[in-house]
Amino acid sequence: MIHRLDADACRALLEDAPVGMLHLDRHGKITWLNETLARIVHRPAAELVGKSATEVGDVLRRLFEAPEAIFLPDADDGPGHWLLRTRQVLPDDGGQMFYYVDAALLRELALEREALRERLAELEAVDEVTGLPNRRAMMKKLEPEVSRSRRYDNPLTVILMRVEDLDGLREQWGDDAADQVMLSIAQMLNDQMRWADIIGRWSHEEFLLILPETALEASDQLLAKIRDRLRAVNLDGSGEHTVEVTARFGSVQWRRGEDAALLLERVHEALERDTRAA
């Protein structure tokens, strides 16, 4: 069919092509651009023809410079245009053809992909049952707190709480009930702790509590409140059925010279001592 098109028809097709097109001669002068590109740059073709790539102004100079992904702002504070450029060197010293594809959709897809990647990273750091930070996230939160205490010599207390016989709860009441118990405990911990405190699910049956600016003795009152609330933990989400839960605690205060790993090692030892003493 293409052989049936005359010169005028071909010219009309090029002018209204879905991609912007521009020709530079061998001297680097613009000899032609189609109407599609003229609309994108908000400049009539006649105003640009005859000019070199360095004579079109700082903004339009981007049409010819690296990188291949180009952003052209609008003069009237509009959204502008994202373009992808390709270049073709013409034979017989015929200059160069430039092609500009509207990349707005690709840009939106890239932004959506980045947002999804960030969301996935957030989900990877959250325990799916309780909605609390998981072990990986808690390690990232503990390290700067240890660094802050090392720098300013501020007190820092860490508590590791282990729920006893969680598997027994699961066997007696079912998986949903066991998960509900952990969710209820997480909500209770959030209610009892300060805004600056950090709570996370450390393992299947453990919660880690990070208490900045808190000496070990000052955490005793918090532990008493937690033990009291554990006597009636919501079992099914309705608040009508409760179960008494037993938990063991390891509590330590940061010492000079300790990093996060040593601090966690000591809190695990303290938890094991409390478990053996039961």
Question: CA 236, 225, 198, 138 torsion: positive or negative?
Answer: negative
Q: Do 115 and 102 contact (CB within 8 A), yes or no?
A: no
State the CB neighbour count (10 A cutoff) for residue 247: 19
Q: Identify whether 205 is a catalytic site residue.
A: yes
Q: Are 214 and 156 in contact (CB under 8 A)?
A: yes
For the residues of 36-81, what is the DSSP string, one character each?
A: HHHHHHTS-HHHHTT-BTTSS-TTGGGGTSS-SEEEE--TTS---E
Beta carbons of 137 and 197 less than 8 angstroms apart: no
What 3-state DSSP class applies to 33? strand
**Catalytic member of 205, 206, 258, 265:** 205
Q: How far, in Å, CA of 278 to CA of 165, rounded?
A: 13
- Which residues are marked as active site? 205
